[in-house]
Amino acid sequence: MRVIVTGGAGFIGSAVCRHFILDLDHEVVVLDKMTYAGNEASLAPVASSPRFFFEKHDICDGDAVRAIFSRYQPDAVIHLAAESHVDRSISGSDVFVKTNVLGTFTLLEAARGYFSAGKGAKDHFRFVHVSTDEVYGSLGDAGLFTEKTAYDPSSPYSATKAASDHLAKAWQRTYGLPVIVSNCSNNYGPYHFPEKLIPLIILNALDRKALPVYGDGSNIRDWLYVEDHARALQTILTAGRPGETYNIGGRNERSNIDVVRDICSLMDRLRPASTSYHDLITFVADRPGHDMRYAIDATKCETELGWFAQETFETGIEKTVHWYLDNPDWWEPLRRRVYKGERLGLLTS
């Protein structure tokens, strides 16, 4: 199989590329603009493979995208390219609208032209549009997001992802493009850009810096190990039904403060210091519009497709902390030149 992976140099995208090439022997064409969050080092394990191809282009560039479809004749697309950090969307929403909405439209149109022309392996061509559980808004103390949950996005990021989901579904219903939509819970694991909660806490702890926790830390997320997500996307690509939506979750609900405390306990054990890392926990002003709880019901993916998350949060977070401790060559350049751990998403007048 030859698959275009948009955003393939990002966190989830690079995990998909490594899984598809190293474990499944697929050919992968990475289409990535290489923004601050794109990192060629995340693709180093597969970069020398004859099954790996790289195209540096913006998904908003219709001519470039159409040329890539024509050149590579893909069997499938996994669309992961997106601006993805909620905090950055609060203070700079324009790029989120351009990439997440207009970029998705451009990609869908290119795929529609390619598919309608009967190019490639038309009978099994698939377009997997990868989205987030944040499109559903905030849960109360009980209940889970299902594929039938109404959309209720809270942030500029989740609003643009909701818009792109609707575009993808409309292109399936109107034009017959074989689109499948997935909505996943919070990912974590190796190669995660340091602006996100888990790598930020690990790296701040190593530097003996404050470990910032928004509000009182009671906000809850369902955590999904990124390699489990990569396996899920392969399963959805090969066994999922066009026109369907599949929720992907790890069944690992944790409050933010418990996540931070778990990391501190692991750091105390794996990299002991003169005082406990728990002493570095610092509560800071909450994020504007911060959703209280997300939790995915992954029953459809589990029962219909036979996919189950393999990692518990306990096993996945220990693997993650070990990886950051063992791979400073990957994250140190990012901390020096790209993101030094500063607070993002503050409202400006």
Q: Which residues are catalytic?
A: 133-134, 157
Pairing of strands 2-6, 27-32: parallel
Pairing of strands 253-255, 220-225: antiparallel
Please answer whether residues 242 and 198 qualify as being in contact, where contact means their C-beta atoms are separated by less than 8 angstroms. no
In sign, the C-alpha dihedral spanning 294, 320, 31, 127 is negative
Distant-in-sequence contacts of 269-272, Cβ < 8 A, 24+ apart: 270/321, 270/322, 270/325, 271/206, 271/325
> Residue 258 burial (CB < 10 Å; 0-12/13-18/19+)?
middle
d(CA 88, CA 1): 35
- DSSP for 7-69, written as a single string: TTTSHHHHHHHHIIIIIT--EEEEEE---TT--GGGGTTTTT-TTEEEEE--TT-HHHHHHHH
Please answer whether residues 31 and 62 qualify as being in contact, where contact means their C-beta atoms are separated by less than 8 angstroms. no
